Amino acid sequence: MSRSPLWTAFDIAAAADGEVFGDFSANGVAFDSREVGPGDLFVAMKGETTDGHRFADKAFAAGAAGAIVSQPVAGPHILVADTAAALDALGKASRARTQAAIIGVTGSVGKTGTKEALFACFDRATPGQAHRSLKSYNNHVGVPLSLARMPADTRYGVFEMGMSAAGELAALTRLVRPQVAIVTAIAPAHSAFFAGEEAIADAKGEIFQGLEPGGTAIIPFDSPHRDRLIAAARGHADRIWTFGRGEGADIRAREALRGPRGTLIAATLPDAELTFTLAPPGDHWVSNAMAVIAAVHAVGGDLAAAGLALADMAGLAGRGRRVLAPVEGGEALVIDESYNANPASMAATIALLGEEKADRRIVVLGDMRELGGKSPLYHAGLAQPLQRAGVDFALLVGPEMAALANELEGRMDFAHVPDAAAALERLESVIQAGDAVLIKGSNAIGLARLVEHLGSGAVAAGKMPCST
């Protein structure tokens, strides 16, 4: 049985106060002409440096059924005064028409992984009737786009929301209007824009302002900002649940035993017990899993199906994916954490590397961006996690890694290079069969190209270099 169209031209016009020029039906929505597929609605957005109207012909050539535009184009379209406002309106209309249980996710770390895990849980229980934000579409454009892409008959919707300034999450959560709102963790990400972690916690706590009546706030019990987040949720949430490892958490991992096939978790819930295996490794994933189980339980979801989904989860590209890279004489394990980085996530993934059985442990660490005046301190602070993890060689990438290079001088083998291109050249001369290599940095550093290169097998074996 096929679904009804996602949007008709007249539905779009009614939602966005536009005028129809050519009837059409759309089954997808995109604002990047490179992502347009057959039957999609193309939204021609105007940015600071480009104008989507210039790419309307390309979108139609790729199969777009129609477009939202603020000036006439050669193809079926809805003419509006402002295409950004029209996309917002389409997102609001999508949210208004759905009967789905909606979950909103934010946090300094773990929000994309938690969002994907929630989707896997709901999709396992109700195949084809769960929806989530794709990629990391979590800002003022990505959130309404993700809402607009949600089919009307969706049963569960999961939306990631991010921010880099106070007030941004408040606006996004009022678009999403979740029944359940999760804060995964608080860490010094984007700290260049905030006075301290307390201010970050306050900004993340804005997610509770959009909760629907009867909604549930889900808060990290083990966070030093727990009480601050609870205070932010009061007055917006009908129910506040905490999750974590500590005694007293509402949803608690009572036991977490690492084994060859994952982590066996015995979880205690307010009115249930659950034992399941978690495939992704690491203590941070145990915490993420408790947030996931809390949200599934809060909306009356299938906990058994959720446990099965978490046992089958694979790592995400840029966020924990594991690649066996062919090198001379065998293979090396590459842990792909190339999408993002902050002090908390760096420490967590370095600790995870320390648990790997490997001939050598190697890290490729790129700059952590947007850390403000404390950036040198945060970078230098990675020295202890590296040493505790028994890292054999550290390849540091970018100017902000100079602080860590200074800290490691005389303490372990390392090299410091200016950019991803230099890192790739150096890594090719280092990597050997039997190595475990963690690659992590802020996305702007471009370390994903190292993962792509290693995965292609285009690697030469070499010898361990001396410190520089």
pLDDT digits 0-9 by tens, 339-383: 888 888 899 899 989 988 999 999 999 999 888 888 999 999 999
* The residue type at 76: P
Share of the chain above pLDDT 90, in %: 75
pTM of the predicted model, to two decimals?
0.80
The yes-or-no verdict on residue 262 having pLDDT over 90 is no
Bridge partners of 423?
Answer: none
Q: HSE on the CB side for 334, CA within 13 Å? A: 30
Mean pLDDT of 103-127: 94
Considering only CA atoms, which of 423, 445, 441, 448 is closest in space to residue 340? 441
Bridge partners of 19?
Answer: 79
CA-derived radius of gyration, the chain? 23
The yes-or-no verdict on residue 313 having pLDDT over 70 is yes
Domain boundaries 98-312, corresponding CATH code: 3.40.1190.10
Q: Give residue 335's Cα distance to chain centre.
A: 16
CA–CA separation, 219 and 226 (whole Å): 7
Considering only CA atoms, which of 72, 62, 78 is closest in space to residue 25? 78
Contacts of 57 (CB under 8 A, 6+ apart): 73, 74, 75
Cβ count within 10 A of residue 279: 17
Give pLDDT tens digits for 106-115: 998 889 999 9
Bridge partners of 265?
Answer: 256, 276
- Provide the pLDDT confidence category of residue 189 given band limits of 50, 70 and 90: low
Give pLDDT tens digits for 428-458: 889 999 999 999 998 889 999 998 888 765 4
Whether 98-312 shares its CATH topology with 321-456 is answered: no
The answer to whether the beta carbons of residues 436 and 353 sit under 8 Å apart is yes
Domain ranges of the chain: 7-86, 98-312, 321-456
What is the architecture of the domain spanning 321-456?
Alpha-Beta Complex (3.90)
Element counts in the chain: helices (H) and strands (E): 16, 22
CA–CA separation, 191 and 372 (whole Å): 6
- pLDDT in the model for residue 1: 44
Average pLDDT over all residues of the chain: 91
According to CATH, the superfamily of the domain at 7-86 is: MurE/MurF, N-terminal domain (3.40.1390.10)
The yes-or-no verdict on residue 18 having pLDDT over 90 is yes
Mean pLDDT of 109-122: 93
CA–CA separation, 436 and 391 (whole Å): 10
The yes-or-no verdict on residue 70 having pLDDT over 50 is yes
Mean pLDDT of 36-62: 94
- pLDDT in the model for residue 36: 96
Give pLDDT tens digits for 206-228: 999 999 999 999 999 999 999 99
